[in-house]
Structure 1
C-alpha cells in the first residue's frame, strides 16, 4: 500500500472515531440513575413470576453518541429481590428488600437503551439471577426447591386452614413464591409464601378464576406441620398508575403459572429468576461476561409505551421458556434527586461502580 493510500485510510478512521463519541458519566449522577431506574422498571415489567427487584448498585454506564443519531445507553445494574410479588401493585420504592439472613436473591443485568424523543427505549438486555450465599448464619432458614413435596404439602395444609376461616369465597393456589425450612426443636419448621386467587369450585375441585376482577393475594405460612399459622394479604384488583407522566389506564394483573402435579424443570430451582432476554447479535453491546452465559435469545421489537410501574406482559415469559417477541419499553420518569457532592478523590478518578443502596 502506498503512502497516499495509507494516509486516506488513517484519515477515514480518524473521521469515524470523531463521529462516534463515548461518554461515561459518574454512576451516581442523575443521568445514570435515570437510566438505571428505567432499566429496573422495564425488567420488572417483563418478570411474570416471583417478586419485584429493586436497584442496588449501578456497576457501569456508557453512552454512545453519533451525530444525527439517537444516543445509546449501555448500563450494568445489580438488583435485589424484594418482598413484593409481581402481582402486587405496590411501587418498588415502597417494597422491602429481603435481608441476607432470609437468603437474598440478586439480579445482575446488562441493559441497552436508546434515548428517543427525550425518553429511554430498551432495545436489549441480559440478566443472571442467583442466590446470595454470603453471611448466611448458622440456623437461619434455608431455601427449598419450589417443587419440594413436603413443603408443598405444608402449603396446601395452610391454604386449607385459610379457606376454612373465610366466608363465601374459596381460594386456590396460583403460584408458590418461595419455601424455606429451619431446624428447631421438634423438627423442621417451614416458612412459605404463595399467591392465591379466587376460585371456582366444583365437587371439591377448585380452579383459579380466569378473570382480572378475581381477588388475589399473597399468603405467609409458618409452623411445624399441622401446627401452623397463615396470614394472607389481598391485592387491589385495579389501581391508578403511579407514574405522574402516565397518560392514564389501570394496572391489570398479568398471568402467572398455576402449579399442577406436572412441574416444569424451572421448579427444581429454589427461587424465581428474572426473565433472561437479549439480542447480542443485533446490538453487540452487551458485556462479554453476559455474552458468555447461556440464555434464551429473543429479539426486542415493536415499541410500546409503558409507565414507570409497568405490569408484566400477559404472555408467560418465565425464565424456563421464552418465545415470541417482547415489546420495547419506552420509559419516561422523573430523574431522582442528585446525590450529595462527593469530594473523595478516589471516586473522582473512578466514577464507577456507584454507591451500594442496600448491601
Structure 2
C-alpha cells in the first residue's frame, strides 16, 4: 500500500508543475514593460509545440518591437534560447529543467517571434529559429581537444548502438509492454587509447511504450507505439564500445502516462519522425544541422 502511495505522489510531483504552468500563462501586454512576459509566453509556446529533442529555456531577450494596431498591438521578439537536459517527453516544466553546459554538447536557438495582443489576450502568430550546437565541434576542439564531438543523428553506427541499447532495456525492464525507439536525441563520439576501449559513443535516446506485451510473440519492429498521452516514456543514456559492439552504463528514466483511463481498445499513433509533420519541418528549415534537433518553424492557422 505504501509503495502504491509513493508511486502516486511521485507521478503527481512530476506532472503538477506542468499543469500549473498550463493554467497560468504569463501576462503579455501592449506595454513595453511586458516584453519579458511576452518572451516567456513565447518560449512556453515553443516547448508546447516542440515534439522532438530537448526542451528549451529563455537565455536572453535580444530585442523587442511593438506595433500598435487599433487598440491592440503586434509584438516582434528576438530571443536566444538554451537547450536543457529535459527531453520533450519529460513531464517536468521547462523552467525547472537544468540548462546544458558546454561540456554536455548542447544547443542554442536564435528565434524571431511575432505575437499579437487582441483584447488583452496574447497569441503567438509565427516563429522561426536557427538551432545549432553551441559550441560546435570546431569550437569545442579548440577549448577541449579530448572532449567528445557531436555525431550526426542519422549515423549508422549510432543507430546500431541505440538499437542494441533498446533491446537491452527491454530485456532488463520489468514493464509488461515492449518499448520502441522514439528517437535518437544525441550522439557523441570520443577515443580512449586503451586496448579494450578505442572508439566510444555516448548515446542519448528516447523510447515510447508500444501496444505489444512482452509475453506475446510479436517482434518489436512490428509493434505500434501507444499514443503520446497514454504511453509511458523512457529516456536513456549509455556508452557504446564500437570495437566490441557492447552497450555499457545504460541508465534510464521512466515517465508515467498522462492518461491511464481504461479503454476497450488501446489506440496507437505514429511517431513524429518520418511523419508528414516532420517532412514539412525539414522543408521549411532554412539551414539543416544534422547533429541537433532543430526547432521547427511555426505559423498559426487562426
Name the TM-score, length of structure 2 as normaliser: 0.71
In structure 2, distance between residues paired with 1:105 and 1:226: 28
Structure 2 portions without partners, runs of 5+? 1-29, 260-268, 283-287
Paired residues in the alignment total 239
Q: Structure 1 residue aligned with 2:225, among 191, 200, 209? A: 209
Determine the structure 2 residue equivalent to 1:276. 297
Determine the structure 2 residue equivalent to 1:230. 250
Tell me, yes or no, if structure 1 residue 198 matches structure 2 residue 225. Answer: no
In structure 2, distance between residues paired with 1:163 and 1:257: 22
- How far is 1:132 from its partner? 1.6
Alpha carbons of structure 1 residues 61 and 258: separation in structure 2 relative to 1, 3 Å: closer
Q: Quick one: higher RCO (CA 8 Å, sep 6+), 1 or 2?
A: 1
1:296-348 Cα deviation digits (max 9, x unpaired): xxx5222xxxxxxxxxxxxxxxxxxxxxxxxxxxxxxxxxxxxxxxxxxxxxx
Q: Secondary structure at the match of 1:301?
A: coil
Alpha carbons of structure 1 residues 208 and 237: separation in structure 2 relative to 1, 3 Å: same
Rg larger for: 1
1:14-68 Cα deviation digits (max 9, x unpaired): xxxxxxxxx994xxx5x221011011011112212111111000000111225x3
- Deviates most, 209-218 or 107-116: 209-218
RMSD between aligned alpha carbons?
Answer: 2.9
Determine the structure 1 residue equivalent to 2:4. none
Normalized per residue, the structure richer in helix is 2
Q: Structure 1 residue aligned with 2:62, among 41, 59, 76? A: 59
Q: Is the 8 A contact 2:209 2:226 kept in 1?
A: no
Determine the structure 2 residue equivalent to 1:300. 300
1:129-156 Cα deviation digits (max 9, x unpaired): 1112345421111111111111211111
In structure 1, distance between residues paired with 2:68 and 2:218: 64
Q: Is the 8 A contact 2:231 2:256 kept in 1?
A: no
1:83-106 Cα deviation digits (max 9, x unpaired): 111122110111111111222211
Query: Which contiguous aligned blocks of 4+ residues in structure 1 show a shift greater than 4 angstroms?
Result: 263-268
Tell me, yes or no, if structure 1 residue 173 matches structure 2 residue 181. Answer: yes
In structure 1, distance between residues paired with 2:289 and 2:63: 33
Determine the structure 2 residue equivalent to 1:40. 43
In structure 2, distance between residues paired with 1:227 and 1:178: 16
Alpha carbons of structure 1 residues 214 and 202: separation in structure 2 relative to 1, 3 Å: farther
- How far is 1:269 from its partner? 0.9
Name the TM-score, length of structure 1 as normaliser: 0.60
Structure 1 portions without partners, runs of 5+? 1-22, 240-253, 278-298, 303-359
- How far is 1:210 from its partner? 2.8
